[in-house]
A and B are shown apart, each in its own frame.
Chain A
Amino acid sequence: MADLNSLLASETASAEGTLPPEALPEPRSQGKLVLRKFLHHKLAMASTAVLILIVLLSIVLPLFWKHNYEDSSFPSFAKPSADFPLGTTQVGKDMVAQVLRGTQYSLLIALTVSILATVVGVVLGAIAGYLRGFSDSTISRVTDLFLIIPQIAAAAILAKVFGGGSWYIVALVLAAFAWMQIARITRAEAMSLSQREFVDAARASGAGTFRIIFKHLVPNMVGSITVNATLAVAQAVLAEAALSFIGLGVQLPDTSLGRVILENYAQLQTRPALFFGPFIVLVLISLTINFIGDGLRDAFDPRQRRMKA
């Protein structure tokens, strides 16, 4: 708080013109303030580091790893050793290679889901919240429709319709049932923002609906959109794993961490590494993303002023 007071004091002083310009603190944009707060959030920064490490490992390590994920020429159920750090599967594939490939696909699916769901949710929510009336009630009913049909049932049906199992079909199905929360939040925010003077000013200066929504409303919601898009990635990782686990998700030749767990969880009692390998990676991914989301929420929240200037 002392820092804030001194900041305020120096600003007042500068208004009176008593301080030379070089003594003033550098003016900070909203974006810089948020970034600064996020960089000071220890847990979020540690999580970012771990997540980046996982992403890099899943992309780079397979290029150098001694065993190919397709190679099933190894002994069945080899014990964890220097050669096979997590052991081998029943058909004699190296588990590390399986986990790396599963991580790639899980991340790819989750990222796709989050991007699609955020775009759909923000567009529909902003339109409903700004235009009100008929558009709002139509969009709200559609949102209700998607909320009452369980994602799992829709995924089961759609997987059959598309003859499914490719990673992008699973991603599309998950995204189709992941946008509603973002739409609801965006709608509420668009409703309250559209009462503000800057929207009136934009309308008075001749801005059209499209321009007001995407140039004036959406940029002002960037905080909640970023936070919810981040959390959507974590939810998508878990949702994909669950779908694949009950056999309605990713099918061969594609894979995912959920599928790797499905293939190996029966060995938990006798060969724990085959279960805990993919399980720990899965939990680490969703845990770090949740922590990052939490850090972003704190960073975007103007009421939180714990950061040092």
Chain B
Amino acid sequence: MRSSSLNLVIYILRRLAISIPVLLVGTFLCFVMVAGTGDPLGELRQNPTISKEALAATAAKLGLDQGIVPRYFTWLGDFLSGNWGISIAQGNALAPVAPKVMAAFGVTLKLVVGAEILALIIGIIVGVLAAVKQYSIIDYLATTLAFLLFSMPIFCVAIVLKNYAIEINGWVRDLGLADILGNPWLRTTSPEQLKTDGVGDFITSTIGAYLLPTLSIMAISFAAYSRFQRASMLEVLGSDYVRTARAKGLGNGRVIFRHAFRNALIPVTTLFSVNFGSVLAGAIITETVFNWHGMGTLLVEAVSKNDTQVMMGWLVVIASSVIVANLIADLMYGVLDPRIRVG
């Protein structure tokens, strides 16, 4: 018999192996669409001072003189050997793609991870409270808030928050807190110049920079998580084994936390994995409102400039992160529910 940790490793490898053909087809389709629809040298061709020979040489250097399919395989070969290609957009001075995409992904990830963890924690707490105190004021308030946030476009939340930030910064000034918190405290643009000269300054300026975008991303995730947690908690609380636990004379707290809570977490885990792609999309839109230079800006730039290599790097990074998020969620099932064993 194989040990369970070996089983787990085999399961993870098998899952990743299944994703590879999906990734290949996805990248191929995108390559054909991006590379096939625009000429990255279009702007240069308009320029009369550049000779035809120079253009042809550049095209040959970039591999643009070949057909789409050979170009895809050239890209794939290079990509697999660690060479993600160079950006061909004007003004980028042929910058390598990998650091560019990774830097942008880092920005987006910093935003998403914090917001999602907070949304999960708060969503689960609110969902459990609403279920335990069903039909109480807490329940009605939580339900109303969740429905409202869930029905709101994320960019509008971001716009409204950004607008009120200006007023809050005014209050901070009026209260004389500007010296401690920074002036302006809440930032509505990219956080590239954080103060790092002291721990206190670092904390307040980080909060100031991250608070609004994080709140925007949290809004919708929180709504979904709290609704799911409430529904699954209600279902578990009505189940036979919870009744058994109560019949044995266990206290309310013990029944809720030891018996019900753990099983009620499973649907939320599913939601987290299914949701990850749309959370990334939400982050991309939030970034646009707050002028962060993350994956959103990069996408719009790559598409508008026909920057195939950047687009492909973007796609592979995003798609891989979705695959990994799904895998993590599936592994979490096994941890949460002993009836489900992966392998």
Interface residues of A (CB under 8 A from B): 141, 144-145, 147-153, 156-158, 160-161, 181, 234, 238, 241-242, 245-248, 258, 261, 265, 268-269, 275, 279, 282-283, 286-287, 290-291
Closest residue of A by beta carbon distance from B33: A157
Distance (whole angstroms) from the CB of B19 to the closest CB of chain A: 7
A149-B319, A153-B315 known; A286+B151 contact, CB < 8 A: yes
Bound CA–CA A145/B30 (angstroms): 12
Contacts of A265 in B (CB 8 A): 159
**Contact between B299 and A160 (Cβ–Cβ < 8 Å)?**
no
Nearest CB on B from A60, distance (A): 24
In the bound complex, residues from chain A placing their C-beta under 8 Å from that of B22 are 141, 144-145, 148
Docked-complex contact A161 and B153, CB < 8 angstroms: no
B contact residues vs A (CB 8 Å cutoff): 19, 21-23, 25-26, 30, 33-34, 37-38, 147-148, 150-156, 159-160, 163, 166, 274, 277-278, 280-281, 284-285, 288, 296, 299-300, 303, 311, 314-315, 318-319, 322-323
Chain B residue numbers with a CB within 8 Å of A268 are: 159-160, 163
Instruction: Give the residue name and chain of the B residue nearest to A258 (CB).
Output: B153
- Contact, CB under 8 Å: A291 / B147: yes
* B284 proximity list for chain A (CB < 8 A): 150, 152, 246
- Contact across chains for A282 and B288 when beta carbons are under 8 A apart: no
Asked if A283 and B299 make an inter-chain contact with CB atoms under 8 angstroms apart, the answer reads: no
Cβ A238 vs Cβ B153 within 8 A = yes
A145-B25, A161-B33 in contact; A152/B281 too (CB < 8 A)? yes
| Complex CA–CA separation, A278 to B104 (angstroms) | 32
> A246-B285, A268-B159, A283-B152 are contacts. A149–B26 as well, Cβ < 8 Å?
yes
A286 to B151, CA, bound (A): 5
- Interface contact B19-A160, CB-CB below 8 Å: no
A290: chain B residues within 8 A (beta carbon): 147, 150-151
Can you list 18 A-B contacts with CB-CB less than 8 angstroms, sorted by A residue number?
Answer: A141-B21, A148-B22, A148-B23, A149-B315, A150-B277, A150-B322, A153-B30, A153-B311, A157-B34, A160-B34, A161-B33, A242-B153, A246-B285, A258-B153, A261-B155, A268-B160, A269-B166, A283-B153
A291's nearest neighbour on chain B, judged by CB, is B147
CB contacts (< 8 Å) of B288 on chain A: these are 245-246
Q: A residues within 8 A CB of B160?
A: 268
A160: contacting residue among B25, B38, B147, CB under 8 A: B38
Known contacts A153-B299, A269-B163, A287-B147; is A144 also within 8 Å of B156 by CB? no
A267 to B284, CA, bound (A): 23
Chain A's nearest CB lies how many Å from the CB of B322? 5
